[in-house]
C-alpha cells in the first residue's frame, strides 16, 4: 500500500506516538474519501477505509508478536504485556487518534452535516438513564451483553482475517468520538459553556471505563491475530503451535476479566454521575 511506504514500521515501533498522528491522518483520509466516493452514506465506508489503511501495519506487528510467542516455553501475563507492550501502545494510540479526529469533526461541523456524515454512529444507543440508582443490575447486564459481543467479534475477525479486529476497534473509536463530540456540542447550545468545555468534562468522566473497555478489545484482537498467525505459520499440534494456542486462550480470558471490570465502572458512572446526567439532559433539550 502506498501510504504504508511513506513511513517505515520501525519508526512507529521506536516512537509509538506516531500511531496517534496516523490515527488522526487515517481518519481525515478515510472520511474525505468516503464523502467523495459515497456521499449518500459515508459513515460505514469511512470506517472501512480507515481500517483498510491501518491493516497492513498491524498485520506486520501481529506477525512479529506471534514469532515471539511461539518461542516461549512458559506463559506469564506480566511478561506477555512486557514483551508485547509496543503493539498494545500502538493499538491504543491509533484508537485515540481516530477517536479524537471523529470528536473534532462532531464538534466543529454543523449539526446537519454531522447528522448526515455520521448518521450510523449517532444511531448507536448510549446511556441516558443516569442518576437512578447506585448500581443497576439490568443496565450492567445490558452493557455486558453488548460489550461481550464486540469483544468476541474482535477475536473472531482477527482470528479469521488476521487483522480484522481493527475494523471493530475503528468503529468503536468513531462511535465514541462522534457521540461524545455531538453530546458536548448540543449541550453547549442550551448553556453558556463552550462545546470544548463539555467535551473535556464528558471525556474525564468516561475515560476510566473507556480505556479499560478498549484495552479488553485490543487484547482480544491481539489474541485472535496471534493465534491466526500461529495457525498459518506453525505445524498443527507441534510444541510451538500448542504454546501459541495456550497463551492466546489465557490472554482472551484476561481480556474478559478486564471487560467485566470496565462494565462495572461504566454502570456506576451512568447511574451516579450527576454532571454527565446534566450534560445528557441538556443535549436532549
Residue 193 CA to residue 174 CA, distance in Å, equals 24
Say how many domains are in the chain: 1
The distance from CA 46 to its chain's CA centroid, rounded to whole angstroms, is 15
118 closest CA partner among 30, 199, 197, 195: 30
> pLDDT class for 238, splitting at 50, 70, 90?
low
CB 90 within 8 A of CB 15: no
Query: Which domain range does residue 7 map to?
Result: 2-283
- How does the average pLDDT of the chain come out, rounded? 79
In order of 28, 205, 277, the CA distances from 272 in angstroms are 36, 11, 8
- Residue-wise pLDDT tens digits, 248-280: 888 888 899 999 999 999 888 877 777 887 777
Stronger pLDDT, 93 or 139, i.e. the higher one: 93
Residue 6 CA to residue 3 CA, distance in Å, equals 5
Residue 249 CA to residue 168 CA, distance in Å, equals 20
Tell me what pLDDT residue 259 has. 94
Per DSSP, 122 falls in state H
| DSSP E strands, 96-200 | none
- Residue-wise pLDDT tens digits, 145-171: 888 988 888 888 888 876 667 888 898
For 284, the grid coordinates are 436532549
- Residue-wise pLDDT tens digits, 95-127: 999 999 999 998 888 776 676 676 666 665 444
Residue with cell 508485547: 84
Q: Side-chain half-sphere of 176: how many Cα atoms within 13 Å?
A: 21
Tell me what pLDDT residue 3 has. 54
- Residue-wise pLDDT tens digits, 8-27: 566 777 777 888 988 999 99
Asked which of 42-46, 172-176, 228-232, 261-265 is least confident by mean pLDDT, the reply is: 228-232
Mean pLDDT of 74-87: 68
Tell me what pLDDT residue 66 has. 57
Residue 92 CA to residue 211 CA, distance in Å, equals 9
Residue 184 CA to residue 280 CA, distance in Å, equals 9
Tell me what pLDDT residue 187 has. 85
> Hey, how many other C-beta atoms are within 10 angstroms of the C-beta on 191?
14
222 closest CA partner among 263, 242, 251, 258: 251
Residue 55 has pLDDT above 60, yes or no: yes
163 closest CA partner among 269, 256, 110, 91: 91
Mean pLDDT of 42-60: 83
Longest dimension (CA), the chain: 65
Amino acid at each position: 500500500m502506498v501510504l504504508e511506504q511513506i513511513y517505515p514500521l520501525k519508526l512507529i515501533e521506536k516512537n509509538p506516538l506516531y500511531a496517534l498522528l496516523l490515527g488522526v491522518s487515517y481518519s481525515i483520509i478515510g472520511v474525505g474519501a468516503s464523502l467523495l466516493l459515497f456521499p449518500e452514506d459515508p459513515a460505514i465506508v469511512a470506517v472501512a477505509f480507515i481500517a483498510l489503511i491501518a491493516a497492513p501495519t498491524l498485520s506486520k506487528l501481529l506477525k512479529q508478536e506471534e514469532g515471539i510467542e511461539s518461542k516461549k516455553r512458559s506463559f506469564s501475563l506480566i511478561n506477555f504485556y512486557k514483551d508485547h507492550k509496543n503493539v498494545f501502545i500502538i493499538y491504543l494510540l491509533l484508537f485515540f487518534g481516530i477517536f479524537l479526529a471523529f470528536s473534532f469533526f462532531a464538534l466543529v461541523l454543523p449539526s446537519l452535516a454531522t447528522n448526515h456524515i455520521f448518521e450510523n454512529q449517532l444511531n448507536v444507543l448510549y446511556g441516558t438513564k443516569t442518576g437512578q440508582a447506585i448500581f443497576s443490575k439490568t443496565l450492567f447486564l445490558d452493557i455486558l451483553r453488548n460489550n461481550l459481543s464486540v469483544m468476541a467479534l474482535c477475536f473472531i475477525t482477527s482470528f479469521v482475517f488476521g487483522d480484522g479486529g481493527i475494523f471493530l476497534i475503528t468503529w468503536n473509536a468513531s462511535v465514541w468520538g462522534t457521540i461524545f463530540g455531538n453530546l458536548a456540542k448540543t449541550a453547549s447550545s442550551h448553556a453558556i459553556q463552550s462545546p470544548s468545555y463539555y467535551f473535556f468534562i464528558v471525556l474525564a468522566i468516561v475515560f476510566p471505563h473507556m480505556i479499560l473497555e478498549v484495552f479488553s478489545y485490543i487484547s482480544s484482537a491481539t489474541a485472535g491475530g496471534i493465534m491466526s498467525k500461529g495457525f498459518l505459520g506453525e505445524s498443527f499440534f507441534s510444541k510451538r503451535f500448542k504454546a501459541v494456542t495456550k497463551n492466546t486462550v489465557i490472554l482472551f480470558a484476561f481480556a474478559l476479566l478486564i471487560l467485566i471490570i470496565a462494565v462495572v465502572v461504566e454502570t456506576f458512572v451512568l447511574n451516579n454521575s450527576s454532571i454527565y446526567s446534566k450534560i445528557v439532559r441538556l443535549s436532549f433539550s
